[in-house]
Amino acid sequence: MINEISFPALNLSFTINRAAFSIFGLNIYWYGIIIMTGILLAVLYAWFECEKHNCGVKMDDVLNMLLFSIPISIICARIYYVAFSFDSYKDNIIEIFNIRNGGIAIYGAVLGAVLTVFVYCRIKKISTLKVLDILAVGLLIGQCIGRYGNFVNGEAFGSQTDNILRMTIIRDGVLIADSVHPTFFYESLWNAVGIVILLVLKRFKRVDGELICEYIAWYGMGRFWIEGLRTDSLMLGGFRVSQLVALASVIIGITGFIFLRHKCESKSYHQDV
C-alpha cells in the first residue's frame, strides 16, 4: 500500500510504502517500527531518571513493567477500540483478533499501561506515584513519536481546512483526503510541548504524583480540542468518546493535583505545629 502525502502550501510531498520490509513473506510495517521507537525512547528516559536521581526504582523493575505493559496495553487498546465500534465486527467476530488490519485506541493503551504499573508496584511494594511520575514524561515521549505512525499510514486526519499546514492524501492512486487538518502533527506537537512543560515543572515538584496529574490534564486538554477536528472519531450516541474521556481527564488531573498539594501542605503544617 503506497501513500502519497503532500502539504501543498509548504511545497512538501512524500511517497511512503506502509511496509518497511518483509521477513519470510510477512510485512513489517513502519507503523510498528515507529511505535516501538517511541517506547524505546520512553524506556531510555526512565533508565536515565532511575540512574540520575536514585529514586528507589530499579531499572530491572522498569524493564519488568515494560514486558508486562506492552502486551497488556495493546490488548486494552484493541478492546477499547472494538467496544466503541462493535458494529464493524459483530458479523465477523474473528476479525476482532486481526489487529494487523488496524483498530487500536491510545486511551486504551494508556489505561492498560497505568493499570499494569499500579498492580506491579502494589505487588513489589514500590511507590506507585513515584513510578507514575516517571511514566508521565515517558508516555508523552512515546505518544509524540508514535503519532508519526498515523502519518505513514495516512490516517487520523481532520476535516478540510485552508490553513498553511493542510494535507492531502492519495492511497494507491485514490484520493483519500484533500486539504485536511494534519491532526497527527497537532497532537505530536502538543505532546512535545507537554514534555518540555513537565520537565520544567519537575523541578518544582513537591510531592509524588504531581507529574502524572499534570500529564493527565495536559493531554486531556489537547486531545479534547484535536478530537473535535477529526473525522474518524469513535462515537457514543451523539458524542465523541475521546472528547468525553479527555474532559474527564482534565477534571481528574486538576482535582488530583489540588488534592496532592493540599495533602502535602497540610502535612507540612502539622509537622511545623
Question: What's the pLDDT tens digit per position in 69-83?
Answer: 989 999 999 999 999
| Most confident listed range (55-64, 103-112, 164-173) | 164-173
* Cβ-based neighbour number of residue 159 at 10 Å: 13
Q: What is the mean pLDDT of residues 78-92?
A: 87
Is the pLDDT at 272 greater than 80, yes or no? no
Identify the pLDDT of residue 119: 94
What is the distance between the alpha carbons of residues 112 and 226, in angstroms, rounded to a whole number? 22
In single-letter form, the type of residue at position 239 comes to F
> 42: Cβ–Cβ under 8 A, 6 or more apart, which residues?
138, 139, 141, 142
Is the pLDDT at 255 greater than 70, yes or no? yes
Confidence of residue 270 (pLDDT cuts 50, 70, 90): very low
pLDDT tens digits, one per residue of 199-228: 999 999 999 999 999 999 999 999 999 999
**pLDDT above 90 coverage of the chain, percent:** 63
Average pLDDT, the chain: 90
CB distance 29 to 20 below 8 Å: yes
Identify the pLDDT of residue 245: 95
Tell me the pairing of strands 167-171 and 26-29.
Answer: unpaired
CB distance 121 to 128 below 8 Å: yes
**pLDDT above 70 coverage of the chain, percent:** 96
Identify the pLDDT of residue 147: 95
> pLDDT higher for 190 or 273?
190
Confidence of residue 273 (pLDDT cuts 50, 70, 90): very low
DSSP codes joined into one string, the chain:
-EEEEEEGGGTEEEEEESEEEEETTEEEEHHHHHHHHHHHHHHHHHHHHHHHH--S--HHHHHHHHHHHHHHHHHHHHHHHHHTSGGGTTT-GGGGG-GGG----HHHHHHHHHHHHHHHHHHHT--HHHHHHHHHHHHHHHHHHHHHHHHHHT-S-BSB--STT-EEEEETTEEEEEEE--HHHHHHHHHHHHHHHHHHHGGG--STTHHHHHHHHHHHHHHHHHHTTBSS--EETTEEHHHHHHHHHHHHHHHHHHHHHHHHHHHHHHHH-
Is the pLDDT at 53 greater than 80, yes or no? no
Candidate from 50-54, 63-67, 123-127, 134-138 with smallest mean pLDDT: 50-54
Is the pLDDT at 52 greater than 90, yes or no? no
Identify the pLDDT of residue 258: 95
Beta bridge partners of 27: 22
Is the pLDDT at 271 greater than 80, yes or no? no
Is the pLDDT at 55 greater than 70, yes or no? no
Identify the pLDDT of residue 54: 60
Is the pLDDT at 153 greater than 60, yes or no? yes
What is the distance between the alpha carbons of residues 55 and 28, in angstroms, rounded to a whole number? 37
CB distance 194 to 223 below 8 Å: no
Confidence of residue 11 (pLDDT cuts 50, 70, 90): very high
Is the pLDDT at 189 greater than 60, yes or no? yes
